[in-house]
Amino acid sequence: MSLVQDAAAVSAPFFVRGKLIAATEKRHRSRDLGVDFVTPKLDLDALVTLRTEPGPLFDVKLNEILDFLAATGERMRLDRGGYLREAVDRIAATNVLPRAVIEHNVRMAADYLNKAKLLEYAEHNLGDARVLDEWLPRVDSTGRRSFTRAFPPRLIHVLPGNSPLVSAQSIALGAMVKAVNLFKMGSSDPFMAVAILRTMLDVDPDHPVPRSMSAVYWRGGDEQVERAIFQPQYFDKIVAWGGGDAISNVIKYLMPGLQLVSFDPKTSISMIGMEAFDSEETLEDVATRAANDVGLLNQEACVCSRVLFVEGDRQQVDRFCERLQRKLVDRNALSGKAPPLPRDLAEEVDSMRLMDDEFGVWGIADGSGLVVRSDEPVDFHPINKTANVVQVKSLKDALKYVNVATQTVGVYPPARQVELRDGLASGGAQRIVRLGDAGGQSIGAPHDAMYVMHRFVHWIVHEDGLV
């Protein structure tokens, strides 16, 4: 019996330099849900392009790349080949995200491939997107002339497993910087990147964009693979998400010529001023906004709020907690429940219930929405629709809890963003938004304190001496 017919294991084809590789030779197990999937055997030599060979996109104009990406987005919406439908089915089996959330994410991925928006992204990231196509001239104040180009890099993208949208973004950015791209997919989603790349073949099977892309899976940390291909002779940068084991696996391969562009693991928070208690309607509205930020992607992503600092007295803060818990439960109609809390976390919350003069607990640990109120942030990392509300006298008092792992801070009322933003940035936070808008994103804005395209490209100068 071939592995494909094995009902217990789903097939996860590879995509290597413009070709779909659909063999089912190697069995893996997804980390989160323990579902088996089968892939082709990895051909290491096919994953690298020697430096004597220019990448397929090196001489393709940005405009043509954008047209191709937009056409891919269009095809993704139609999905005539059923690639994305199939990917959704398979991701739903390997990923903790509810199906509705995955479907929404896949629609967002198709919409992301929008020509005008992508161009705006590049313009904002690079100042002048022509630098991708041309050697832009400049004469400095001493009269020296030089030409600069954002030269195409060779990139390994270690994709996160928690958001299919990131696959689309990484593919789009990798194409726009004209890179030679190798995507290492995660075990909780070894499907989405390949589904997008397959769609590209339907647009034009010989286009240089798909020829510049490979998407494969190996078990993160597999030294046989990583020691062989994580070499500066083959790649310039490793673009990696996450922390802990995922990043320590990568860090050991860094060396002169092989750099890391890291999207570090992040925690997001909210800061809610006493204005929330102006009226009952306001409080309802603030709780709804807060629940949006907490429950986004079922709290799987870095932008999801986990700790909410609320300015007020105990009674006010408890009123907020009660409403927030209700709003989190209301959201279940939209995106389904999150998985129940792991036993150790549930136990920690139970202990807090027992110490009711120190803590307040609303809801149960079944993934439907849980709120824990404390005087300082709890020790555990709130997950699966859990919000930790911390009572503070003044939002300024909460600044000491902001640290280098803090990403997004949702503030209410919006007017108070200005009073807080310098303190937040100094503490380490990287993104300040209106409460309820953690998922919003202005086109080309910095991510994790950097302009991503700017970090991806290889800045090359051609010095032309005194004019």
Partner 1 sequence: MSGAVRPQACAVDRLVGAVDSENPFDTPFSELLPSQLEAINERFKDRIGKIKLLQNRAETGGISEVRCMADVVPLLFAHTAYKTYPEGWLVEQKWDRMGRWLDTVSTHRVERMDTQGINGLDAWLQRLESQGHYVSCSSGTTGKCAMMNATMADGEFAGHSLLRAIIWAGLAPNHDRRMISLGLVAATPRNRASGKPMREAFNRRDVAPFAPDVPPITIGGITEMIVLRKKIADGTAKPTEIAYFETQAAEREKAIASSIEQAADALIASRHMPLHIMGLFGPLYQVAERVRAKGYSGKDFHANSAFVSGGLKRVQVPSSYREFIFETLNLSWDRVCLTYGMQEINTNAPRCKAGRYHMAPWVMLLLLDESGEHLIEPAASGELEGRAAFFDLSLDGRWGGVISGDKIRATWAPCACGNRSLSVADEIQRYADTASGDKIACAGTIEAYVRGVS
Alpha-carbon dihedral angle through residues 163, 119, 183, 133, given to the nearest 10 degrees = -170
Question: 51, 353, 393, 462: which one contacts partner 1 (CB under 8 A)?
Answer: 353
Chosen residue from 128, 223, 245, 313 binding partner 1 by CB under 8 A: 245
User: Which lies closer to partner 1 via its Cβ, residue 50 or residue 354?
Assistant: 354
Site for partner 1 in 28-47 (CB under 8 A): 31-32
Element (H, E) at 10: strand 9-11
Whether residue 413 is preceded by a cis peptide bond, meaning omega within 30 degrees of 0, is yes
Q: Binding of partner 1 at residue 249 (CB under 8 A)?
A: yes
Q: Which of 81, 265, 339, 413 binds partner 1 (CB under 8 A)?
A: 265
439: contact with partner 1 by CB under 8 A? no
Residue 135 or residue 359: which is nearer to partner 1 going by CB?
359
Alpha-carbon gap, residue 360 to 404, rounded angstroms: 28
34: left (phi over 0), alpha (psi -120 to 50) or beta: left
**DSSP E strand boundaries for 121-205:** 136-139, 144-151, 154-158, 180-184
- C-beta separation of 175 from 65 below 8 A: yes
> With binding defined as CB under 8 A, does residue 366 bind partner 1?
no
Q: Which residues of 394-417 are buried (b: 16+ CB within 10 A; e: fewer)?
A: ebeebbeebeeebbbbbbbbeebb
Tell me if 275 contacts partner 1 by CB under 8 A: no
Name which position in 72, 167, 335, 374 contacts partner 1 (CB under 8 A): 374
Specify the length of the chain in residues. Answer: 467
In the complex, least distance from residue 360 CB atom to partner 1, rounded to whole angstroms: 14
- Radius of gyration of the chain from Cα atoms? 24
Q: Which is nearer to partner 1, 49 or 374 (CB)?
A: 374
Q: How far is the CB of 110 from partner 1 (least distance, A)?
A: 21
For 279-313, where are the alpha helices, taking DSSP H only?
Answer: 280-295
Measured between alpha carbons, how far is 198 from 81 in angstroms, rounded to an integer? 9
Does 356 interact with partner 1 (rule: CB under 8 A)? no
Closest approach of partner 1 to the CB of residue 166, in Å: 8
Per CB under 8 A, the segment of 80-88, 217-225, 319-327, 431-439 that binds partner 1 is 217-225
Of 84, 192, 378, 395, the one binding partner 1 (CB under 8 A) is: 378
Residue closer to partner 1, measured from CB, 131 or 372: 372
Q: CB of 301: closest distance to partner 1 in angstroms?
A: 6
- Residue 163 binds to partner 1 (criterion: CB under 8 A): yes
Judged by beta carbon, residue 434 or residue 447, the one nearer partner 1 is 447
Residue tagged 């300082």 (tokens)? 376
- Spatial separation of the C-alpha atoms in residues 157 and 167, rounded to whole Å: 9
DSSP 312-377: S-HHHHHHHHHHHHHHHHHHHHHH-PPPPPPHHHHHHHHHHHH-TTT-EEES-SSSS-EEEEESS-
| Of 224-232, 314-322, 346-354, 387-395: span binding partner 1 (CB under 8 A) | 346-354
381 counts as binding partner 1 under rule CB under 8 A: yes
Evaluate whether 444 touches 123 at the Cβ level (below 8 Å): yes
Q: Which CB, 203 or 399, lies closer to partner 1? A: 399
- Contact residues toward partner 1 (CB under 8 A) are 31-32, 158-163, 166, 186-188, 219-221, 240-247, 249, 263-267, 299-302, 304, 343-344, 347-348, 350-355, 358, 374, 376, 378-379, 381, 400, 403-405, 427-428
